[in-house]
Chain A
Amino acid sequence: MDFLTNLINGISLGSVYAIIALGYTMVYGIAKMLNFAHGDVLMIGSYVCFIVMGTYGLDPLICVLLSMACTTVLGIVVERLAYKPLREATSLAVLITAIGVSYFLQNMALLIWGADPKAFRSVVRLPSVVLFDGQLVISAVTIATVLAAIIVMVCLTLFTQKTKMGKAMRAVSEDKGAAQLMGINVNTTISMVFAIGSGLAALAGVLLCSAYPTLMPTTGSMPGIKAFTAAVLGGIGSIPGAALGGVLLGIIEIFAKAYVGTQFSDAIVFAVLIIVLLIRPAGLLGKEIQEKV
């Protein structure tokens, strides 16, 4: 039973990583940038939800939607102000800017909400599911997280495959110049990707804080790095890859904690990434591109 409990917890944590990783992977796919501020967008989203829930006592679902709306706007604003002027700059310049944005968001949160950790109240308030005469207890948050991840994945896949905007996104990530010549508004498309990614980050943040209820200005950093690792593990730029990488990483982390020891779980997670990249340099589902001379 322990095994099953760990597996379920792993899948649940992995689902959160998968939702965050989607934001990373889509932004990387289209803008070719490592958006290190993504984890902090997640943190801001969680704070917004926490505040709205605490002060106005609104329905949790409305709070989640509100925080998603806030981070969506935040994502668009950040992209316009900080990343858009650097479209033609070197990738390292964009990376440093993203790190600047990350510092900015963390310190804004520190100034507004203080450094003391907040006890986040779960947004899912249903009773746990008890199976096998109480041997297996699955919390409602766990189920909600996995469901949310599945819904997000299905919606995103449909969106990128069926809608005009989704097709535009794929076109821009394939070849920016050619897409522009075909009449696609590249700037709007990139903004759209940032909007979706940031909105999803808030959802992931709320789910993460519901399961692990401490909220601090640095809450987003480590999940951000882990989700980034998940995106690379699955093959950065690939949406199914992000989901696969996220779930795998979550399972590995929980199993490492359970069977090897809490203190080495990070080392094991990153070691797995390294081994996978050495065998498949473009990640599990990534496309290997041959270099042309």
Chain B
Amino acid sequence: MSKKTKSQLITYALVVCLFALAFGLSATGMMSNSMVGLLVPICAYITMAISLNLVVGISGELSLGHAGFMSVGAFTGLATSAALKYYGVITAGPARLAVAMVAAGLFAAVAGILIGLPVLRLRGDYLAIVTLAFGEIIKNLMNNLYLGMDASGLHVSMTDAKSLGMTGGTIIINGPQGAAGIDKLSSLVSGFVLVMFALFVVQNLIDSRSGRAIMAVRDNRIAAESVGVNVMKYRLMAFVVSAALAGMAGALYAMNYSSIVPKKFDFNTSILVLVFVVLGGMGNIRGGILAAALLVWLPEQLRFIGDYRMLIYAIVLISVMLLTNNARVKAFMEGFRERRGMRQAGAAEGGDGK
């Protein structure tokens, strides 16, 4: 087995173990109620971390507006699910969830293409600020989106609920108030499936010819271009795949609550996911998963200290960044890695001798 496949299998195994633990604890009632309520959001954030890692870690672009794609997916997903039920196309919960997620992924992917085409022409910090700008624009537009359905079909408006001109029917998305009365279709099982799907997509993409091209562009754009790699195509590929996954995570997240507002998916949410990716180690999918799970779990555990919770969170964040970038700590870790490398090399030599 190659080193790569082994590493990939470890990641899958890690996710399976985490979920087995979550299943076990929640089934035996050893988990507090508030923690059980966090399980689906954790799945959504893990998917977000995997998705953003593809852009930030693998493709090397800093995106500060990832919550925008989550928002697009969230509202597409819940609208799809509501419409399917209302018109009686599909009534079974899991099937509706699946269709809603596919729709969410598609819409977010379209948003990804529309945003990616202009954004990816820029570089570095300018690219980051433009993704931030797009995130804010999406939030602003979602805040003014009104969507309703009645016997004659779907009605969309960008001004207010009255202008939908509906006869009876129900309003699905109500501007700044967002969506209410959502069918809570998400479950830990669907979260698990989504995380495994995201993992499967991203790991296979990284390990493919396209993935190598994406990383080549990240490492040296000019060199990659000069050997014939289509820079725009591969940057866009990573961006759009990531957007689609973020959209699906959004749908999972939204359908875990009975109501959700567009404001939920703001700059702070984008930053939260970015923190998972950076703390987990950029480009390190496994690290991102662990960081996401840990950093959603940790504030919940710190609830007893009340208002000091976010203060502690901030201090932890700064300390981790200072420690991981400290020259001495780095040298120590380097030494540790070297020793381990030598031991492995020694073992391999010994094996050859026999």
Hey, which chain B residues are within 8 Å of A225, CB to CB? 132, 136, 267
Question: 8 Å CB contacts to B: which residues of A234-251?
Answer: 236
Give how many A residues have a beta carbon under 8 Å from the other chain's beta carbons.
44
Closest to B62 in A: A92
Q: Are B311 and A108 in contact (CB under 8 A)?
A: yes
Please tell me the number of chain B residues within 8 Å of chain A, measured between CB atoms: 44
Q: In the complex, are the beta carbons of A93 and B325 less than 8 A apart?
A: yes
Which of B126, B133, B271, B327 sits near A281, CB closer than 8 Å?
B126
Q: Is B222 located at the chain interface by the 8 A CB criterion?
A: yes
Chain A residues in 8 Å Cβ range of B51:
none
B204 within 8 A of A: no
Query: Could you tell me if A93 and B321 are in contact, using CB atoms closer than 8 angstroms?
Result: yes
Instruction: Mark the stretch among B15-23, B117-125, B191-199 that contacts chain A.
Output: B117-125
Chain B CB within 8 A of A104 CB: yes
B144 contacts chain A at the CB level, 8 A cutoff: yes
A263 to B175, CA, bound (A): 10
Q: Does A264 contact B (CB under 8 A)?
A: yes
B35 at the interface (CB under 8 A from A): no
Q: Are A236 and B130 in contact (CB under 8 A)?
A: no
19 contacts across the A-B interface (CB closer than 8 A): A92-B278, A93-B325, A96-B279, A97-B317, A97-B321, A99-B275, A99-B317, A101-B314, A103-B314, A110-B310, A111-B311, A264-B144, A267-B141, A270-B136, A274-B130, A274-B134, A277-B129, A281-B126, A291-B222
Q: Which residues of A are in contact with B by a Cβ distance under 8 Å?
A: 28, 34, 82, 85-86, 88-93, 95-97, 99-101, 103-104, 106-108, 110-111, 221, 225, 228-229, 232, 236, 263-264, 266-267, 270-271, 273-274, 277-278, 281-282, 291, 293
Top 4 A-B residue pairs of the complex, sorted by shortest distance between their CB atoms: A100-B317, A270-B133, A104-B314, A103-B314
Task: Point out residues on B near A: beta carbons under 8 Å.
Answer: 56, 62, 118, 121-123, 125-126, 128-130, 132-134, 136-137, 139-141, 143-144, 222, 267, 271, 274-275, 278-279, 282, 307-308, 310-311, 313-315, 317-318, 321-322, 324-327
15 more contacts with CB within 8 A, not counting A97-B318, A104-B318, are A85-B325, A86-B325, A96-B279, A97-B322, A104-B311, A110-B310, A264-B140, A266-B137, A270-B133, A274-B118, A277-B129, A277-B130, A278-B118, A281-B123, A293-B222
